[in-house]
Amino acid sequence: MTARAWIKIGRMAAAIMGAGLLVAGAAQPRERDAPVQPVVVELFTAQGCAGCPDANRMLEAVANEPGVIALTYGVGYWDYLGWPDTFARPEFAARQQAYRQAMRLRNVSTPQVVVDGRRQLSGARPPELQAAINAEAAARLWPPEIEFRETGDRVGVGSGRPPRGGAEVTAVIYRPGLQTVEVRQGDNRGQQVRHVNVVREVRRLGDWTGRSVLFALPTDSASEDNVVILVQAKADRRILSAARRTNPRAD
């Protein structure tokens, strides 16, 4: 089943449980429905990596799936082959290294997909990716809620149980949709390499300790950019909660 199917099952189960309470005449008020949480799929890729275009297409195939936030990070450690990646930034490679340490992997590689900060796939294997998305969509508990203020300049993170070691709140600024780069050197020379939802910047907003907190949103991004807010455990790097806001200036 897809992530959409798991979300539908969760909503149906909540409705059935609620109906049961009403029929039984329970005195207690019914608990609110669990918030529908998107699954975050992060691809670490490089324009100079021969196996990366296939992984780029794999991410593109799930990018518009309901309940999925797909993000592309360019890394530059293949630049020595002759083509400097046009989207790479050192902090993206550092983010991948943080996942390597948390997952106790021997080394980093491209292409690499990380799902909700908990699972990783090396290479381009669509069935395994879909299975990981479905598993994460079905495993949602009660994450802290994320709410964008109507003013557009702040975001609130609700209360909840923090993970051991604490958590941090990060804004991921990305350009939505497809971008195509003509690679002129290296292993992919002569190819038109497609990327979806390319990350432009990762900005740490602050810590989340379990109490409700309000953060200022980045306001200096380009009008075409969107922002994803991640509440992420510091120790094991699992993503506790995520929400996406479309930049209103893009309208």
The residue ranges of every structural domain in the chain are 3-19+35-250
Q: CB–CB of 225/200 below 8 Å?
A: yes
Report CA torsion sign: 232, 99, 234, 161. Answer: positive
Location of structure tokens 């497809």: 178
Q: 192: which residues sit within 8 A by CB, 6+ positions away?
A: 180, 181, 182, 183
How many CB atoms are located within 10 Å of the residue 204 CB?
11
3-state secondary structure of 96: helix
Q: How far is residue 228's CA from residue 197's CA, in Å, rounded to a whole number?
A: 11
Q: 128: which residues sit within 8 A by CB, 6+ positions away?
A: 121
Q: Is the pTM of this model over 0.75?
A: yes
Quote the pLDDT of residue 141: 72
Q: Which of 49, 16, 243, 55 is nearest to 147 (CA)?
A: 243
Quote the pLDDT of residue 222: 66
CATH top-level class of 3-19+35-250 = alpha beta
Q: 230: which residues sit within 8 A by CB, 6+ positions away?
A: 40, 169, 170, 171, 172, 239, 241, 242
Report CA torsion sign: 3, 75, 96, 155. Answer: negative
Using one digit for the tens of pLDDT, what is the confidence trace for 134-191?
999 888 777 899 999 988 899 999 999 999 999 999 999 999 999 999 999 989 999 9
Q: CB–CB of 205/171 below 8 Å?
A: yes
Give me the average pLDDT of each 10-residue run along the chain (251 residues): 48 40 32 65 96 96 95 94 95 96 92 96 90 89 89 93 95 97 93 97 96 92 87 96 78 42
Quote the pLDDT of residue 24: 34
